[in-house]
Structure 1
Amino acid sequence: MDLDPKLLNVITLLIATLIAAKIIATFLIPRSRKRLPPVVNAWPVFGGLFRFLKGPIVMLRQEYPKLGSVFTLNLLNKNITFLIGPEVSAHFFKASESDLSQQEVYQFNVPTFGPGVVFDVDYSVRQEQFRFFTEALRVNKLKGYVDQMVFEAQEYFSKWGESGEVDLKQELERLIILTASGCLLGDEVRNKLFDDVSALFHDLDNGMQPISVIFPYLPIPAHRRRDQARKKLADIFATIINSRKQSGKCENDMLQCFIDSKYKNGRPTTESEVTGLLIAALFAGQHTSSITSTWTGAYLLCNPKHMAAVINEQKDLVNKHGDNVDHDILSEMNVLYRCIKEALRLHPPLIMLLRSSHSDFTVTTKEGKDYDIPKGHIVATSPAFANRLPHVFKDPDTYDPDRYGPGREEDKAAGAFSYISFGGGRHGCLGEPFAYLQIKAIWSHLLRNFELELVSPFPETDWNAMVVGVKGKVMVRYKRKVLQCS
């Protein structure tokens, strides 16, 4: 039977269209369509949401051996492409903000930090605000902060008895918020308003829930307390700022640095901006320092070799400088530095770093395979996973501070971005020197003045926290040494 001419035309047109589409796919579609990263097997529609929420590190441990250092996870309507290891991470850390942006992926911080600061402003303004942080953390400023750190440690531990048992995690959290109040927020907060401000920061901190990442304005009780605390903190800081300006009083703290900061066009910072920058600084530093101080102590107390090494270093410094501890002396504590750095490698508080891709780019794996990452993907790397890669660090799950010593330097041997606990590149942590000085000030005092013993089991990791830290108590038995040092 003859086909109707109209139907024949339709069939012919359909076949021609399919052939044309095949030709276009073969010759005209960019090569990136052929070299996309492998995709994690996941449910339709929801993608890898359930696996991701269950724990991204668990997912990475399962998929990295199968898929390699570059792969994509479909997450609802988003694609997250992971770059794991120094060989594929250079673009992540070095790309310009116009290519890989922080702003979109960290919008959940805006209700906490407040309007007009950090991730609520365009990149040019954010760069100027980061300049304020840099100026507040220059060496001449850090030297003054160290005096406060040492004073706070002496005062805090003077209240311990001759012997006893304490939860080291809780003790270090309290000490570090006291130190942060003195160095960052100023005497007005440290001496008069500490309890009030500490409670408000607690509500602000608890307002950062896992659900907040996806729905930062969801009307839940934790978010309502967060918003109320943010408003009360703004009122407190406004009063302090106005008082300082009217009296002409000038202090050596980060608050004063932010008050005195000016943008390139000459505009001074506003009260709202100063408050937001202070909150951002405290959030960035408090968790990292308290968590890393605790892990450092737990590892030292379980490793007699490294404990002996840091104690001997303190004895040498006392013989050289007496009981004095200042910025320059803390800078000489290389053995303690390596012990802190190793604890931070094994337990970085921020387990995921994210960017939003605004342009296509290509990465090459250590096996020489090229992958093209499309514009629109969220790009991620994981310090918690990358810091334990066996081809970068020997026996990666072992606490071994000597791996950073002369002759080994494993963090450099595999190239840039092998060690990423503080990020790196364009967005490396500005507070890294402050954090190391603070932890050194605390542990140099403890090592010089106390005999310590871990009496609870070695702590576990609290993977459920937004900033991943130590789970449960870390009980330590202490005994004050007969001959005290500073």
Structure 2
Amino acid sequence: MEAVESANANSKLLNVGLLLVATLVAAKLISSLIMPRSKKRLPPTVSAWPVLGGLIRFMKGPMVMLREEYPKLGSVFTLKLLNKNITFFIGPEVSAHFFKAPESDLSQQEVYQFNVPTFGPGVVFDVDYTIRQEQFRFFTEALRVNKLKGYVDQMVMEAEDYFSKWGDSGEVDLKYELEHLIILTASRCLLGEEVRNKLFDDVSALFHDLDNGMLPISVIFPYLPIPAHRRRDQARKKLAEIFANIIASRKQTGMTQNDLLQCFIDSKYKDGRPTTDTEVTGLLIAALFAGQHTSSITSTWSGAYLLCNPKYMAAVLNEQKNLVQKHGNKVDYDILSEMEVLYRCIKEALRLHPPLIMLLRSSHSDFSVKTREGVEYDIPKGHIVATSPAFANRLPHIYKDPDTFDPDRFASGREEDKAAGAFSYISFGGGRHGCLGEPFAYLQIKAIWSHLLRNFEMELISPFPEIDWNAMVVGVKGKVMVLYKRRALPLE
């Protein structure tokens, strides 16, 4: 009897065990069917030590990490950075969603909050998307062709005045000279005559403190009570006071100027509300930050490459000779627009050295991407999504000999930046958040270099410059020493 009961008990246990196993198998099958795709096809992950490994790899240099991981992991991969996941998209095949997604899906606001103490309250990343779009409309309207034509006249005047102070021959740090000229030009075109003629030294010093208050640590802890942040905040307050006085004076006297400041003063939101003094100041600071570094850095790289490449130096000089024969010494918006060879040289320098090496978004929804090899990955909500102009602009399957300075790659018939489709060239970003100041930057750089080419013979006497990877806006490391000699006869 006991043996029978024992057998029954064992049989029941076996049945229960089999039922449990069957249940687990069924649950596994069901879960695999209903599991969100983002759990099934996540991008590969960068290998790193637990907890701090991702941060260490990132802090050693994003470009170093990208160069190591792209060949192993492909065009989409994730870096675990403390409590965040950063998913990188490398190349035009996977970047369309990054550049074209609406703000509700991929947002700039969260990832660029570190700019708020510098730009100030109520502008750009301190406002919701609808207000930010209206403020970007103010920029667009201020950079229309009819406005740009007036700015070009001011650019040319500043360049002529600045280089008139050079001697007949001499030795200069080209990087230093171009940085200072571009600050002067930006002050006149963007901040106005009051600043350029009366307050330039004061405002330049304050902008210097603002600039130095944006450190790598500021990205993570923008309000950390350190001396650089305190100087930043004091400079921001003083700049607000200066511009409040200028705005009040213009409104009281009815005086207007052809500058960005006036455009922002006159701007109105869709509901009819005019901009406030605080908003005008913040928008001006944002504009100067966006343009000053990019233009000075790209001007310097363009010059360094031209001075080391006789073929392209001869080509841009020949272009200037033809324009002088056609138009005389006059330089205006339309003539600058004819400088196609110089344009391609600047564009190529910018391909090789985009000042912003990383572009970031915050993902608000799940989405999928497909690589050029046909592999599909699901990107979960909450990931930070990143792309790198500095890396993507040198992909060998898009650009032939990608590390070589070759402006002809953009010439008609080759157009390597278009052959692989949209977002192959992303020095100025692209899509919904493309740089609004791109036309202004090209005009400014062409105005400066057309003057230098027409009036001076130059020779690079220091080694070709290195890249300053430690800067927030990646630029030129050290001095760029140039020997110059004023042309005895005009270029003709």
- What range describes the TM-score normalised by the shorter chain of this pair? over 0.9
* 1-structure distance, mates of 2:132, 2:315: 42
* 1-structure distance, mates of 2:31, 2:430: 39
Question: 1:375-386 counterparts in 2 under 5 A?
Answer: 375-386=381-392
1:140 paired with 2:162, answer: no
* 1-structure distance, mates of 2:484, 2:136: 41
- The equivalent position to 1:70 in structure 2, one of 76, 86, 96, is 76
1:424 paired with 2:430, answer: yes
* 1-structure distance, mates of 2:390, 2:463: 22
- The equivalent position to 1:361 in structure 2, one of 338, 353, 367, is 367
Corresponding residue number in structure 2 for 1:52:
58
* 8 Å contact from structure 2 (residues 361, 384) kept in 1: yes
Question: 1:176-195 counterparts in 2 under 5 A?
Answer: 176-195=182-201
State the shift of 1:25 in Å: 2.9
* 8 Å contact from structure 2 (residues 321, 491) kept in 1: no
Q: Which residue identity does 1:256 align to in structure 2?
A: Q
State the shift of 1:23 in Å: 3.1
Deviations 1:297-332, CA, capped at 9 Å, x for gaps:
000000000000000000000000000000000000
Corresponding residue number in structure 1 for 2:407:
401
* 1-structure distance, mates of 2:358, 2:123: 22
Corresponding residue number in structure 1 for 2:291:
285
Pairs aligned (count): 484
Misfit runs of 4+, over 3 Å: 1-4, 7-21
Stretches of structure 2 that go unaligned for 5 or more consecutive residues are none
User: Which stretch shifts more, 368-377 or 182-191?
Assistant: 368-377
Deviations 1:12-32, CA, capped at 9 Å, x for gaps:
998687546523431210222
* 1-structure distance, mates of 2:474, 2:287: 18
- The equivalent position to 2:269 in structure 1, one of 239, 263, 282, is 263
* 2-structure distance, mates of 1:11, 1:357: 44
* 8 Å contact from structure 1 (residues 47, 73) kept in 2: no
1:389 paired with 2:395, answer: yes
Deviations 1:216-264, CA, capped at 9 Å, x for gaps:
0001111000000000000000000000000000100000000000000
TM-score by length of 1: 0.97
State the shift of 1:10 in Å: 11
* 2-structure distance, mates of 1:49, 1:104: 19
- The equivalent position to 1:340 in structure 2, one of 343, 346, 349, is 346
State the shift of 1:483 in Å: 2.0
Corresponding residue number in structure 1 for 2:247:
241
* 8 Å contact from structure 1 (residues 323, 485) kept in 2: no
Deviations 1:408-436, CA, capped at 9 Å, x for gaps:
00000010000000000000000000000
Q: Name the CA shift for 1:465/1:8 in 2 (closer, same or farther; >3 Å).
A: farther
Stretches of structure 1 that go unaligned for 5 or more consecutive residues are none
TM-score by length of 2: 0.96
1:173 paired with 2:188, answer: no
1:477 paired with 2:483, answer: yes
Q: Name the CA shift for 1:175/1:372 in 2 (closer, same or farther; >3 Å).
A: same
State the shift of 1:360 in Å: 1.0
Q: Name the CA shift for 1:190/1:485 in 2 (closer, same or farther; >3 Å).
A: farther
Q: Name the CA shift for 1:418/1:312 in 2 (closer, same or farther; >3 Å).
A: same
State the shift of 1:441 in Å: 0.2
Q: Which residue identity does 2:37 align to in structure 1?
A: R
Corresponding residue number in structure 1 for 2:116:
110
Deviations 1:253-306, CA, capped at 9 Å, x for gaps:
000000000000000000000000000000000000000000000000000000
* 8 Å contact from structure 2 (residues 265, 280) kept in 1: yes
* 8 Å contact from structure 2 (residues 357, 389) kept in 1: yes
Corresponding residue number in structure 2 for 1:149:
155
Q: Name the CA shift for 1:151/1:28 in 2 (closer, same or farther; >3 Å).
A: same
Q: Which residue identity does 1:242 align to in structure 2?
A: A
Does the residue aligned with 1:223 lie in a helix, a strand or coil? helix
- The equivalent position to 1:450 in structure 2, one of 453, 456, 463, is 456
* 8 Å contact from structure 2 (residues 351, 425) kept in 1: yes
Aligned-residue RMSD, C-alpha:
1.9
Kindly name which structure, 1 or 2, has the bigger radius of gyration based on alpha carbons.
2
Q: Which residue identity does 1:147 align to in structure 2?
A: D
User: Which stretch shifts more, 24-33 or 260-269?
Assistant: 24-33
* 2-structure distance, mates of 1:425, 1:325: 32
